[in-house]
Structure 1
Amino acid sequence: MASLKDVARMANVSLMTVSRALNSPERVKPETLARVQEAILHLNYVPDLSAKQIRSVGTKNKTIGVLALDTVTTPFSVEITLSIEETARAHGWNSFVVNMFSDDNPDDIVDLLLAHRPGGIIFTTMGLREVHVPPKLLMYPCVLANCENKGEPVACYIPDDEQGQYTAVQALLAAGYRRPICLHLPINHLATSRRRKGLERACREASIDPDKLEHCYMQFGDEHYRDIPDILLAHIHQGIPQFDSVICGNDRIAFMVYQTLLAKGISIPQDIGVIGYDNLVGIGNLFLPPLSTVQLPHYEIGRLSTLHIIKDDDRKERVLVDSPWLSRESF
């Protein structure tokens, strides 16, 4: 990575002039400022905002930079970012978060994060997804939390969605339910296909052909949660459900299912069993009856990702993190 000296050398000016160009450009002659700025662009120089801190603690900056893509806009972000901070502090490290939203310029946000010269980087996203990790980040120890890289292998920690769904459906079928309707997340979500694999495995073990079940996929976009009642009602004829249970793609779908069934006088779990997924923060136990669901392991993902940086782990493999089954009273 280019240094201040490299910029000064290319622009043929002193270090003091480069510093002044960065911090007080109005004090630099226009032609000199132009040369410095051209050198900065050519060398892809990122100002070092934490050089003083690095000098005070040695060559290893014990700070983790968290690049959060849409993450802090969701309740789950609390689990990931809290886990990162608590784990870092417990090992004598610090952490900071830089948020990146869909309309941000990724290069600008990455430069902002790198300006603090972190000792390692955790790239995290809202919802399991594939990302393009900016090459600049890979010059540092880097790990992905709740996402996977589309390019070269990068260490990542993600939920074990297939096993989580398998465990949930296995419990439902073991309780005697045989005709579930499956209300999936959008078909293009990474988690959707993996969870369906788990569902199919549990069904086949119970001698149920999963292809003969009713599978409905939600459209992309939060506004389509309002489509769930009509989808469910299409499978209720003259007040009688054509299913004995509902496998929900997440707890928000389960919330719509609860409202729809209860409004029709259909009792949970006496008439219909329901299972969710995610264990939506602060909500699962507020369902009446409490919703049986799968815990997305965001806290554990944050902890393991942080330890990956602290331990200077150089492995670049994908790690599946256990998603625990939470048995409650909805079936």
Structure 2
Amino acid sequence: MPREQVGIRDVAAAAGVSVTTVSHVLNDTPHTRTSEHTKARVRAAAAELGYQPNRLARGLRTRASGMVGLLTEEIATTPHAGRIILGAQEEASRRGLTLAIINSRLNTDPEVETPEVQAFIDRQADGIIYATVYHDEVVTPDELHVVPAVLIGARDREGEIPSVMPDERGGAASVVDLLVRKGHRRIAFAATSVDVPATRGRLQGYRDGMLAAGLDPDEFVVEAVSEASGGYEATIGLLDHGRDPATRPTAVFCYNDRMAMGAYRAAAELGLQVPADVSIVGFDDQDPIAESLFPALTTVALPHYEMGAWAVRTVASLIEGRDEVGLLGAHPVLLDCPIVERASVAPPRA
């Protein structure tokens, strides 16, 4: 008798292959590079374990619905989610696809069914896009291996599902490069201690830029909460405390735009003008903060629209069998985070 609740991961473990390979074999996915020997081994393992694939999921091989499901993990209420959805929606429209959206949360236990993913599968979705809150490694549920799928904002821990993420490290390094080209040598970084990938990426990018310019990457780094209050406290500490104007920072690069808002207040209280006395740069290009500050804030934009569009293009390519999922899943695609130059940066006073 077959044991209960045999999953696709059980078959993969028994056959010594990836979950994606099992999905390809059992669903007869075209244009894969799986050998006949491996296919036989997978089918034998599935038969021995008594694996029963979802009947509707198997029907996806022959019944194209023209629908792509977009699951948003708590980002539907964030300031940037609209750009991801817009990018995905417009790209789907260009390809004649229908985009369906459900707000969800990725379960950290792959053995626990994710009902929102299953809902798309039951409705014959041709592919699924999962957008997550934090840019980190995740364990994907078994259901995401049944149909072509991609991740936005996170990488699959097993390296099997393609993903796209912002190149926050590169974006931060480009800020330092901009400030150095403007003539700044004492560049501070108002960081945060929240342990998320954005924190690590932006700090490392700052350090990369400082080292590339031959500058000390540790002299002017201060940690604070990633809100306006933290930006205020960090900037007060960097620019005040009896610092000689000849040795204090001439530019403050903030972890995000909310901290930059607090940095503006600190500069004003210290009698300093932005950007005449101190240049300030943010990160995120958050609406309406960046454009509403006076002077308008120079900041780094996250490629939300581009990530949404990339995800639809990629999942469409996988649906059509034009790309090999294993090759795409090995490394996340990093999209550029461009600088949006406004009026908060100027050369330092001589």
TM-score normalised by the shorter chain: which range applies? 0.7 to 0.9
Out of 210, 213, 224, the residue aligned to residue 203 of structure 1 is: 210
Q: Per-residue CA shift, 1:155-190, capped at 9, x if unaligned?
A: 111111121111111001111222222112335211
Following the alignment from structure 1 to structure 2, what is the Cα–Cα distance between the partners of residues 44 and 257?
Answer: 59
Q: What is aligned with 1:11?
A: none
Provide the C-alpha distance between the structure 2 equivalents of 1:103 and 1:307, rounded to a whole number of angstroms.
26
Unaligned regions of 5+ residues in structure 1, if any? 1-41
1:249 aligns with 2:252: no
1:275 and 2:281 are equivalent in the alignment = yes
2:128–2:147 Cα contact (<8 Å) kept? yes
Deviation for aligned residue 1:84: 0.7
Q: Secondary structure at the match of 1:262?
A: helix
Task: Name whichever of 95-104 and 159-168 sits farther off.
Answer: 95-104
Q: Quick one: which of 137, 140, 143 aligns to 2:144?
A: 137
Q: CA deviation at 1:276?
A: 0.8
Are 1:321 and 2:335 matched, yes or no?
A: yes
2:222 is the counterpart of 1:216: yes
* Structure 2 CA distance for aligned equivalents of residues 44 and 99 of structure 1: 28
Of 79, 82, 85, 1:81 maps to 85
What SS does structure 2 have at the residue aligned with 1:121? Answer: strand
* Range with greater deviation from structure 2 (142-151 or 105-114): 105-114
- Higher mean displacement: 297-306 or 316-325: 316-325
Q: 1:113 to 1:256 in 2, by over 3 A?
A: farther
Quick one: distance in 2 between partners of 1:151 and 1:310? 22
Contact in 2 for aligned 1:132/1:151 (Cα 8 Å): yes
- What per-residue deviation string (whole Å, max 9, x for no partner) do you get for residues 25-56 of structure 1? xxxxxxxxxxxxxxxxx98887969x9xx89x
State the one-letter code of the partner of 2:121. L
SS of the residue corresponding to residue 333 of structure 2 reads: strand
Aligned amino acid, residue 208 of structure 2: R
Number of residue equivalences: 281
For 1:23-42, list aligned pairs within 5 A. none
RMSD: 2.8
Say which one has the larger Rg.
1
Against the structure 1 CA distance between its residues 270 and 106, is the aligned structure 2 distance closer, same or farther, given a 3 Å change threshold? Answer: farther
Kindly indicate whether the alpha-carbon contact (under 8 Å) linking 1:132 and 1:150 is maintained by their aligned counterparts in 2.
Answer: yes
Check conservation: 2:56, 2:124, Cα contact below 8 A: yes
What residue is the counterpart of 1:17 in the other structure? none
Q: Distance in 1 between matches of 2:292 and 2:213?
A: 31
Aligned to 1:234: 237
CA distance 1:209–1:139, shift in 2 (3 Å): same
How much has 1:244 moved relative to structure 2? 1.5
DSSP 3-state at the match of 2:120 = helix
Gaps (5+ residues) in structure 2? 1-49, 346-350
Taking a change above 3 Å as real, the CA distance of residues 180 and 271 of structure 1, as seen in their structure-2 partners, is same
1:7 aligned partner: none
Task: Give the Cα separation in 2 of the matches to 1:102 and 1:229.
Answer: 35
Residues of 1 paired with 2:223 and 2:287: CA distance?
Answer: 23
Q: Give distance in 2, aligned partners of 1:196 and 1:231.
A: 15
Cα displacement (A) at 1:231? 2.8
- Residues 148-157 or 268-277, more deviating: 148-157
**1:67 has 2:71 as partner:** yes
Quote the offset at 1:111 in angstroms: 2.6
Residue 92 of structure 1, aligned match among 91, 96, 100 = 96
Following superposition, the deviation at residue 151 of structure 1 comes to 3.1
- Which deviates more, 156-165 or 129-138? 129-138
What residue in structure 2 maps to residue 117 of structure 1?
A: 124
1:261 pairs with one of 261, 267, 272: 267
Q: Could you say which residue in structure 1 is the equivalent of 2:158? A: 151
Q: In the TM superposition, what whole-angstrom CA distance separates every residue of 1:39-95 from its partner, at most 9, and x where no partner exists?
A: xxx98887969x9xx89xx62222111111011011110000111111101110011
Match of 2:181 in 1: 174
Q: Distance in 1 between matches of 2:120 and 2:261?
A: 38
Q: 2:272 aligns to what SS in structure 1?
A: coil
Asked if the contact 1:239–1:264 (Cα under 8 Å) also holds between the matched residues in 2, the reply is: no
Which residue of 293, 297, 302 corresponds with 1:296? 302
Counterpart of 1:129 in structure 2: which amino acid? D
Aligned AA (2:205): G
Asked whether the 8 Å contact 2:128–2:315 carries over to 1, the reply is yes
Aligned-pair distance for 1:311?
1.5
Higher deviation after alignment, 248-257 or 186-195: 186-195
Secondary structure in 1 matching 2:92: helix
TM-score by structure 2 length? 0.72
Query: Which structure has more strand as a fraction of its residues?
Result: 1
Shift of residue 294, structure 1, vs aligned partner:
1.0
For each residue in 1:92-117, what CA deviation from the matched residue of structure 2 results, as whole angstroms up to 9, or x when unmatched? Answer: 00111110158998623333333322
- Distance between the aligned counterparts of 2:214 and 2:184, measured in 1? 12
Letter in 2 for 1:330: S
